[in-house]
Structure 1
Amino acid sequence: MKQTHSLRQKAGQFLHILFPILITQIALSAITFFDTNMSGKYGTDDLAGVAIGTSLWIPIQTGLSGILMGITPIVSHLIGSRKNNDVAYQVTQGIWLSLLISLLVLAAGSLALSPVLNFMNLEPLVRDIAFRFLCAISVGIIPLFGYTVLRSTIDALGQTRISMLITLIALPVNVGLNYLLIFGKFGFPELGGVGAGVASAITYWVIFAVALHFIYRFEPFKSLQLFRKFYGLSLSSFKELLKIGVPIGFSIFFETAVFSAVTLLMSRFDTVTIAAHQAAINFASTLYMIPLSICMSLTILVGFESGSGRLKDARQYSIMGIGSAAALSLLTALVLLFAGNHVAGLYSDESEVIGLIQHFLIYAIFFQISDAIATPTQGVLRGYKDVNPAFIICFIAYWVIGLPTGYLLATYTDMGAYGYWIGLIAGLAIGAILLLGRLVKVQRNFSARILEQNNG
């Protein structure tokens, strides 16, 4: 990354950082998309089982990965303030933390998985598929969290094209393994939806190995001496990582978990409704990769500029990023409005399921517009290292307002399953407004603090 002096230069650097991240996030989302899509083509029970399994896995994966993403603003600030010699140590501590988190997840999962699935009162076949899917994907937890640290480091250095390349390698690996293991092609076992979990676990190992290769062999990582020296585990470094990472992880968890909670609450509906809901959520999550990618880009760019004390540049990037996300959300809304039937057909061949998916996608239009404001705003706040208020806002918006509203509408009105989606829309909209208000306050305080330091 480099200092920019005009809006045109900023737009160029913003796109240079954003485009590879967007391709990376879409490809990562495509892994889940193909898991869901190909399981649905195998059978509705498999689609429902993978939907339940994914609903339990995604909040854990994204929330805990969010904690590890705390390395991004730390590294970007170090680079912006020219403290390159400290990067290797911080990244190693991130790897240690990823290993500890992975072991905790595996231990907790071994104790809690069966009771949680039993509590949901699922159809026996759906419950069995969900259980075996999660057991299979757990084999890839350690490399996945390790890769999160490596990718966050790569991105923080502005080398987002490398992250893109790694993920583009992973996508065909995952899809190919899905084909072999879900449908039992070329002599491989026919595992149905469970095969998607096995394929994802193998893919996580592949991307971790490839990322390690890039970091160890190529510049600019080689000159930073990453993994060239052994650093023991440091609790004081963990404290700094967790201070930034935990609020990021919790804010991501609160947002993703509310969607999963809705899916779990909808287990009282029939299998067709569960499958249609999950298919619509899956496609909406793919569209969510646009504001999420902008969010991640803004964390890098705003972190770099604020670490260098260039507040005007940081503010210009924030306006550019949030405005771009809002404009793109209107375009994706048109896609959902006019091509909903074609989108639904990607997930199922059954007319009843297709009709329900298309109906759910209409509601998705509204909450993805709110996401386009809220998510990039969080990215800017992380660039300023202002992370605690955002996770409180997310908790209130999604869990105090959104989910209870959805439950009341779904349970006590004739809206049924659609009531949950209206609750989500309300929570996301309120969250977006509150986060924007926080950003305005942070930028004012940051400017005042820098001015005071300069005068002093």
Structure 2
Amino acid sequence: MQKTFTNSEKIRQLFVILFPLLITQLSLFAMTFFDIMMSGRYSTADVAGVSIGSSLWMPIYSGLGGILLAIPPIISQLIGAKDTKKVPFNIIQAIYLALAIGVGITIIGFIFLNPILTKMNLEPAVEQIAHSFLVGLGFGILPLFVFNVLRSFMDGLGQTKISMLITLSALPINIIFNYLLIYGKLGFPELGGVGSGYATAITYWLIFIIAILVVMKVEPFASYRIFERFYRVSLKNWKTLLVIGLPIGFSIFFETSIFAAVTLLMSNYDTITIASHQIAMNFASFLYMAPLSISMGLTIVIAFEVGAKRYSDALEYSKIGISIAVLMSLVFSLVIFFLREQVASIYTDDQLVLKLTTHFLIYAIFFQISDAIQAPIQGILRGYKDVNFTFFMSLVSYWVIGLPFGFILAHFTDLGPFGYWIGLISGLALGAIGLLARLLFLQRVKFSPMKEN
């Protein structure tokens, strides 16, 4: 990264960082997409089971993995302040923390997975598929979290293209092993949707190994000599990471877990409704990768400018990032509206599932504008290391307002399962408004351009 002097230079630098992030996020998401899509081609029970398993896994992974999103702003601010000697120590401590998180998730899953699935009252076949899918995926938890640390290190240096190439190289492997293990090809066992869990775990190990080699052998990463020195565990450094990371992780958990909660509440509906809901939600999440990538890119450039105390440049980056996200959301809304039947047909041949999915996709349109505002602002606030308000807004907008409102609409009106979607839309809109107010206050008071050196 480098200092910019005009808006055109800022747009260029943001896109240099943003585009690889988008491809990376789409590639990571594509693993879940192909898990669900290829399982749907196997059977409706398999797509329902894999969808349930993914819905349980993603909020946990996103929330706890979100703690590691403290790394890019920390690294970017160190680079902006030209204090690079502290980088290796911070990365090693983050790896230790990632391993601790991974072990913790594995133990908790071993204890609570069966009771959670039992209480969902799923059809027996769906419950068994969801359980076995998560067991298979669990073998890849530790390498996934360490990879996230190494990827955050790369991104914090502004070298997002490298993490993009790593993830892209792994995606074909995930698809190939899905094909082999779901359908039992070339002598591999026919596991159905369960096979996608094992295929994903294999992919996580692959990107972990590649990332280790890149950090050790490829510049500019190799010059930091991350693995050259052994550091003891520093609880003080963990505290620094957690002070920033925990609010980020909890805010992401509150946001992603609301979708899992809706899935749990909808488990009383039939398999067709569950499958249709999950397909529509999966596609909406797929489109969310764009504002999410803009958010991650903004975190990097904002932190870089704040570290150098160039608050006016940070302000300009904020305006540019939000504007790009809003324009993209309008395009996505048109795609959903005019191509919703084609989108649904990607996932399933079941005519009942396809028809109901097109109805859910109409509601997904309303996610777009709110996501285009709240996601970039979250990234901007992280760049400022201002994370507590996002945590508060996520809790209130989703769990205090969005979910209860959706429950009321679903159970006390004729909207049925669509009521939950209206509740989610309401929560997203409220969150966007609150975060925008916080950002305007922050940039006018604490990080005003008038306070530059």
Count of residues paired in the alignment? 453
- Give the Å deviation of 1:9: 0.6
CA distance in 2, matches of 1:195, 1:201: 10
Cα distance, 1:232 vs structure 2: 1.2
Counterpart for residue 428 of structure 2: 428
How far the C-alpha of 1:226 sits from its partner, in A, is 1.2
- Per-residue deviation, residues 188-243 of structure 1 (Å, max 9, x unmatched): 00000100100001100000111111111011111111111111110000000000
CA-CA distance at 1:447 after TM superposition: 3.1
Identical columns (%): 56
Structure 2 CA distance for aligned equivalents of residues 182 and 445 of structure 1: 55
Q: Is the 8 A contact 2:312 2:449 kept in 1?
A: no
* Structure 2: distance between partners of 1:213 and 1:247: 31
Q: Give the 5 Å matches for 1:65-144.
A: 65-144=65-144
Unaligned runs of 5+ in 1: none
Contact 1:309/1:450, CA 8 A, preserved across alignment? no
Deviations along 1:277-304, whole A, 9 cap, x unmatched?
0011111111000000000000000000
Tell me by how many angstroms 1:68 deviates: 1.0
Does the alignment pair 1:159 with 2:159? Answer: yes
Report deviation, 1:448. Answer: 5.2
Q: How far 1:446 sits from its partner (Å)?
A: 2.4
- Contact preservation (8 Å) 2:310, 2:449: no
Instruction: Write the distance in 1 (CA, Å) between the matches of 2:136 and 2:82.
Output: 43
Cα distance between partner residues in 2 of 1:425 and 1:348: 25
2:412 aligned partner:
412
Structure-2 residue corresponding to 1:221: 221
Structure 1 partner of 2:183: 183
- Are 2:441 and 1:441 aligned? yes
- Supply the distance in 2 between the matched residues of 1:368 and 1:183 (Cα, whole angstroms): 35
- 1:232 and 1:357 mapped to 2: Cα distance? 52
- Structure 2 distance, partners of 1:248, 1:325, is 20
Asked whether the 8 Å contact 2:377–2:436 carries over to 1, the reply is yes
**Structure 2: gaps of 5 or more residues:** none
Give the whole-Å Cα distance in 2 for the aligned partners of 1:243 and 1:350.
48
Aligned to 1:303: 303
Conserved 8 A contact 2:311-2:448: no
Q: Secondary structure at the match of 1:442?
A: helix
2:282 is the counterpart of 1:251 = no
- The CA RMSD measured in Å over matched residues stands at 1.0
Shift, 1:184, TM fit:
0.3
Counterparts of residues 17-32 of structure 1 (less than 5 Å): 17-32=17-32
Secondary structure of the residue aligned to 2:233 is coil
Given that residues 312 and 448 in structure 2 are in contact (C-alpha distance below 8 angstroms), is that contact kept between their aligned partners in structure 1? no
- Which position in structure 1 is the counterpart of 2:367? 367
One-letter amino acid of the structure 2 residue matched with residue 355 of structure 1? K
Q: 1:129 Cα deviation (Å)?
A: 0.4
Q: Please state how far the C-alpha of 1:441 moved relative to its aligned partner.
A: 1.0
Q: CA deviation at 1:369?
A: 1.6
Per-residue deviation, residues 226-276 of structure 1 (Å, max 9, x unmatched): 111111110000000000111111111111111111111100000000001
Query: How many Å separate the matches in 1 of 2:73 and 2:54?
Result: 29
> In structure 2, what is the equivalent of residue 319 of structure 1?
319
Indicate the residue corresponding to 1:264 in structure 2.
264
Residues 98 and 145 in structure 2, CA contact (< 8 A), matched pair in contact too: yes
For residue 368 of structure 1, report the CA deviation from its aligned partner.
2.1
The one-letter code sitting in structure 2 at the alignment partner of 1:169 is: S
